[in-house]
């Protein structure tokens, strides 16, 4: 296939600080989810190319680790400036390959920039500790040092934000980095890498390789890869975590989610309805922090018909349509899966108040469109409750008390995010104290933390020990060296030749 048959041509690798055309004979087609037109082709990197990418990152790391933290921070300052300068360009590119509307795409880029801003403060985040006289005439120190080469495996749904969760902090800590972005939308990550090189990052410190499961396994097995960051499905994340840890590598894997929002009867109804619509169908539900379960407590169940009316007003559309609330699903396969779960919900007895399976966007008849879908009468035994749908589908459950709502959430295998809407401080305190979920919102539907905190999914939503961005990411990408030192007084130079001896 010739490059002119695609909108963006063949996607190269990024090795040695520049585009590196792949010699692969295996290519993956990248299609526009709104009309199935061919955007680009992305290569499945060869074994030799993977070896070169890792070796180049490792060689760059050996020099980069000796660069003072303040100088590394200056690269990050340059990078965040370039990302801001190219913000709208990045958002437009991202919107075309993911289908996100422009506002959502801009948010994707901006949240990544916020993490880069945290990397600018790397000097203060990698300070060690010291104590004099830990024993007689003995001093103790701890130093924070980089690991080596780190690997990032990122998903399709946030092709700017999630790579920017990873490589800027890892590189600011002194590491080399290899990024394996999603093969479904590789254009945005490649542009991020180009801007990183333009910002003054040393050549080779960031490599980008493309491919599928074979390439991931080759990277995981490479002895120079010391730590692995992953965001994606529970199935793939489990494989990545087991493979990495069995080879004594560090791993942090952010996987599945089933996020509940609890609505108390004393909540502000207008705020509840508005926030549920955005949290339930925003980004077509293709985000790990989407609210996919609404738990109505007591008389709050009376608001469900009004919620259905608000859902019915939401219309998906093309990325540059200012009236579009969200875009298409990423692929035809994703559409088939989501529509199958909607069908299963109906078959299992849930009441489908709004069915998005027959959504039509004028001018784009073959897009991966699914309209907003709302169920009530859902029970925990149903597939639409048990499985992560990753589409614009909200399941409504009804319980009698806050205790029942808490039990429902805590019995679910996932623990990524949750929220409660209430005007009662005591109810809010009980909820945030007792819920077994890593990220909790109080009258905030999607409680994604700002980057000076850490992204902290629990239970079946996370495999590992240290979380993403913030202080925990700095700890993940570094290790501590403890030094105990003693000097003897009799070794102090003295006499007429002291000055010479001290030189």
Tokens 């007689």 -> residue: 136
Phi, psi of 240 (to 5 degrees): -60, -45
Residue 467 C-alpha from the chain's centroid: 11
H or E, element range at 252: strand 250-254
Q: Which residues have C-beta within 8 Å of that of residue 103, sequence separation ≥ 6? A: none
Structure tokens at 399: 């319980």
Structural tokens at position 471: 């202080």
99: phi then psi, degrees, rounded to nearest 5: 90, -5
CA distance 220 to 241: 10
In the chain, count H helices and then E strands: 17, 22
Cα 259–Cα 390–Cα 316 angle in degrees, nearest 5: 110
Cβ 20 vs Cβ 177: under 8 Å: no
Contact 374, 391 (CB under 8 A): no
- List the beta bridge partners of residue 145: 479
Catalytic residue numbers read 288
**3-state helix, strand and coil shares in percent for the chain, rounded to the nearest 5:** 40, 25, 35
364: which DSSP letter? -
The H or E element spanning position 442 is strand 439-442
SS3 178: strand
- What does each C-alpha distance from 114 to 110, 111, 135 come to in angstroms? 6, 5, 43
**Cα distance between residue 234 and residue 122, in whole Å:** 31
Q: How many CB atoms lie within 10 A of CB 409?
A: 24
Pairing of strands 38-43, 27-31: antiparallel
Integer Cα distance of 459 and 199 in angstroms:
38
């Amino acid at each position: 296939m010739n490059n002119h048959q695609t909108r963006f041509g063949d996607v190269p690798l990024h090795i040695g600080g520049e585009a590196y055309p792949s010699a692969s004979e295996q290519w993956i087609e990248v299609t526009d989810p709104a009309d199935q037109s061919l955007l680009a082709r992305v290569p499945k990197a060869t074994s030799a190319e993977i070896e070169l990418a890792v070796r180049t990152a490792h060689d760059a790391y050996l020099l980069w680790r000796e660069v003072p933290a303040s100088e590394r921070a200056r690269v990050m300052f340059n990078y965040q400036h370039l990302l801001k300068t190219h913000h709208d360009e990045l958002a437009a590119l991202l919107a075309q390959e993911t289908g996100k509307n422009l506002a959502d795409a801009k948010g994707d880029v901006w949240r990544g920039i916020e993490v880069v801003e945290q990397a600018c403060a790397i000097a203060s985040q990698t300070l060690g500790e010291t104590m004099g006289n830990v024993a007689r005439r003995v001093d103790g120190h701890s130093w924070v040092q980089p690991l080596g080469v780190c690997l990032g495996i990122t998903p399709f749904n946030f092709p700017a934000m999630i790579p920017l969760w990873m490589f800027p902090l890892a590189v600011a800590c002194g590491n080399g980095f290899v990024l394996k972005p999603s093969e479904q939308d590789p254009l945005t990550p490649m542009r991020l890498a180009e801007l990183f090189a333009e910002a003054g990052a040393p050549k080779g410190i960031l490599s980008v390789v493309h491919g599928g499961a074979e390439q991931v396994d080759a990277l995981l097995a490479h002895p120079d890869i010391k730590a692995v960051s992953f965001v994606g499905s529970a199935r793939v994340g489990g494989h990545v975590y087991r493979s990495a840890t069995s080879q004594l590598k560090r791993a942090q894997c952010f996987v599945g989610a089933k996020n509940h929002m609890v609505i108390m009867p004393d909540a502000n109804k207008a705020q509840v309805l508005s926030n549920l619509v955005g949290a339930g169908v925003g980004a077509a539900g293709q985000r790990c922090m989407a609210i996919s379960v609404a738990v109505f407590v007591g008389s709050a169940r009376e608001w469900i018909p009004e919620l259905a009316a608000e859902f019915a007003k939401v219309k998906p559309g093309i990325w540059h349509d200012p009236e579009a609330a969200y875009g298409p699903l990423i692929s035809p396969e994703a559409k088939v899966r989501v529509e199958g779960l909607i069908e299963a919900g109906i078959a299992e007895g849930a009441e489908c108040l709004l069915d998005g399976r027959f959504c039509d966007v004028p001018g784009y008849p073959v897009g991966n469109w699914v309209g907003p879908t709302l169920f009530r009468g859902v029970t925990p035994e149903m597939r639409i409750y048990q499985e992560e749908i990753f589409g614009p589908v909200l399941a409504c459950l009804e319980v009698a008390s806050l205790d029942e709502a808490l039990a429902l959430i805590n019995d679910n295998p996932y623990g990524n995010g949750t929220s409660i809407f209430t005007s009662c401080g005591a109810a809010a305190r009980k909820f945030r104290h007792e819920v077994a979920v890593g990220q909790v919102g109080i009258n905030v539907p999607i409680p994604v933390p700002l980057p000076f905190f850490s992204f902290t999914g629990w239970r079946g939503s996370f495999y590992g020990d240290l979380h993403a961005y913030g202080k925990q990411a700095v700890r993940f990408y570094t290790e501590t060296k403890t030094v105990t030192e003693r000097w003897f007084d009799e070794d102090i130079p003295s006499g007429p030749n002291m000055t010479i001896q001290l030189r």
